[in-house]
Structures are given as structure tokens and as C-alpha cells.
């Protein structure tokens, strides 16, 4: 069985996501060469940079932190196809924000990395049908554990294991939204979903969370972030 991890290659991404993204779109083609990514910080190390800088894609980069956003603006000033926008994203505002920024209902790549309410924001975007979704998962909770942070629009990550959602919970949400889980990067950070109508074309199999899971290979000791307490939902 072919695995997305065979194609890992780091150009600008944090891990090997750049190579996986290139391989995926080589296989399934593109609709409009358009991406949306949020939680990009300064945009120097993100999953859309290679698409924007090397492959001439257009898209939108969103960042909430004011100072990081200033650097983001500067870093993409030479790329007129890329729109940068400052916003603190919540479940309540994300759909309206997409509408205001004229995001197409169908586009190629959505990347969600909020270190917190990622699950809830993806759920709120149910009207939008990107062809590929990449979303951070919390590898501290291996399958079949279901864990989703209780929704808090003001959530701020404290650098602990209290963030996001487990892979099993994200896989269940993905199914409801019409997506197939095809793998995770080898450091245990991001999960890759392909829209179900493109699964056969991708050449990758739909995986169970157990098959796709990689344990956390990050943090000071390489075993994930320090423990954090908070309210979890098992969904």
C-alpha cells in the first residue's frame, strides 16, 4: 500500500508536508490553484509558501497576532497573488470571513493550524469543499481515543497537551464533511484528508486512525508537549 510518508520533503514547511502536497496535487490535479491557510505566524515556515513562491498559486494567509502579521505582510509583499489578512479566528466568524475574502466554495487546499479550536473551525466551514484539507492533530491521544477541546472562542494555547483534537475525532468529523483520512506526517503533527470523490484518483487508500497515526516526535524531549489540564469532549 502506498503511503504519503514516502513523499515527505521539507522546503518551507515545518515537517515533510511540502513533498506530500506536491505529490497529492500531481496526482489529483488542481481546480483553481488556490489555498487558504490560517495560523501561519510570519509565513516563513508554512505549508502554502512553497505553492505561492515556487508554483505560482494564489491564496489567502490569515494570522491573528498583530506583530507576526506585520512580518507576514512584509514576507509576501512580493507575491501579489497572495492576500494576507489579520484576524483572530473563531467558529462564529470564519464563514463570514471567507465570504468577505471571496474564498471560492471549491478550492484546492485548506490548512488549519490554530493550536486550539481547529476541530470547531473546520466544522463551521461545512459549506466549503476544498479538495485537500490538512489539519493539526493532537498526537498525545492515540486512537481510538476521542478528544476535542471544549469550545472557547478566546482559546489561547499554553504550550501543553491541552489543544486541538485527537486523530480519531478529526477522522470522524472528516467523514461527516465528506473527506477520507489518508495519513499523517511522520512527526505526528498534521493529518491529511482528501475529498472523498478524489480518493481513487489520489491513489492513496483511506486509512483508519490507527493505521494513519504517528506518535508525537516533537517537544523538548521528543515525546510531545508537557501535560496540560482542561475540559475535553469525547466526540
pLDDT (0 to 100) of residue 226? 93
pLDDT (0 to 100) of residue 201? 98
Closest-CA residue to 62 (of 35, 80, 81):
35
Average pLDDT of the residues in 207-211: 98
The band of 1, judged by pLDDT with boundaries at 50, 70 and 90, is: confident
More confident residue, 44 or 222: 44
The mean predicted confidence, pLDDT, of the chain is 96
CB 164 within 8 A of CB 149: yes
CB 12 within 8 A of CB 46: yes
pLDDT (0 to 100) of residue 223? 84
Closest-CA residue to 46 (of 223, 189, 154, 166):
189
| Number of domains the chain contains | 1
CA distance 49 to 61: 10
> What are 43-88's pLDDT values in tens digits?
999 999 999 999 999 999 999 999 999 999 999 999 999 999 999 9
Closest-CA residue to 204 (of 23, 3, 18, 8):
3
pLDDT at 14 over 80: yes
CATH of the domain at 62: 3.40.50.150
The band of 219, judged by pLDDT with boundaries at 50, 70 and 90, is: confident
CA distances from 104 to 8, 33, 166, 231 (A): 28, 11, 28, 35
> What are 20-44's pLDDT values in tens digits?
999 999 999 999 999 999 989 999 9
Range of the domain at 43: 4-233
- The pTM assigned to this predicted structure is 0.97
Task: Return the C-alpha cell found at 2.
Answer: 502506498
CB 20 within 8 A of CB 4: yes
**Cβ contacts of 117 within 8 Å, gap of 6 or more:** 90, 91, 149, 151, 152, 153, 155
Neighbours of 136 (CB within 10 A): 23
CA distance 16 to 5: 8
Amino acid at each position: 500500500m502506498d503511503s504519503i510518508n514516502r513523499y515527505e520533503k521539507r522546503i518551507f514547511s515545518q515537517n515533510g508536508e511540502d513533498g506530500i502536497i506536491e505529490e497529492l496535487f500531481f496526482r489529483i490535479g488542481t481546480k483553481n490553484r488556490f489555498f487558504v491557510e490560517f495560523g501561519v505566524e510570519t509565513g516563513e515556515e508554512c505549508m502554502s509558501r512553497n505553492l505561492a513562491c515556487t508554483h505560482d498559486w494564489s491564496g489567502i494567509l490569515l494570522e491573528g497576532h498583530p506583530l507576526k502579521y506585520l512580518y507576514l505582510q512584509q514576507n509576501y509583499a512580493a507575491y501579489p497573488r497572495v492576500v494576507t489578512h489579520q484576524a483572530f479566528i473563531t467558529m462564529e466568524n470564519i464563514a463570514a470571513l471567507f465570504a468577505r475574502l471571496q474564498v471560492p466554495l471549491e478550492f484546492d487546499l485548506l490548512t488549519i493550524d490554530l493550536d486550539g479550536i481547529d476541530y470547531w473551525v473546520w466544522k463551521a466551514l461545512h459549506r466549503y469543499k476544498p479538495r485537500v484539507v490538512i489539519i493539526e492533530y493532537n498526537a498525545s491521544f492515540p486512537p481510538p481515543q476521542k478528544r476535542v477541546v471544549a469550545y472557547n472562542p478566546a482559546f489561547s494555547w499554553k504550550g501543553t497537551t491541552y489543544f486541538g483534537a485527537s486523530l480519531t475525532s478529526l477522522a470522524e468529523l472528516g467523514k461527516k464533511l465528506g473527506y477520507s483520512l489518508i495519513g499523517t506526517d511522520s512527526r505526528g503533527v498534521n493529518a491529511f484528508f482528501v475529498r472523498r470523490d478524489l480518493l481513487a484518483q489520489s491513489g492513496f487508500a483511506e486509512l483508519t486512525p490507527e493505521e494513519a497515526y504517528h506518535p508525537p516526535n516533537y517537544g523538548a524531549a521528543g515525546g510531545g508537549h508537557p501535560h496540560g489540564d482542561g475540559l475535553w469532549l469525547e466526540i
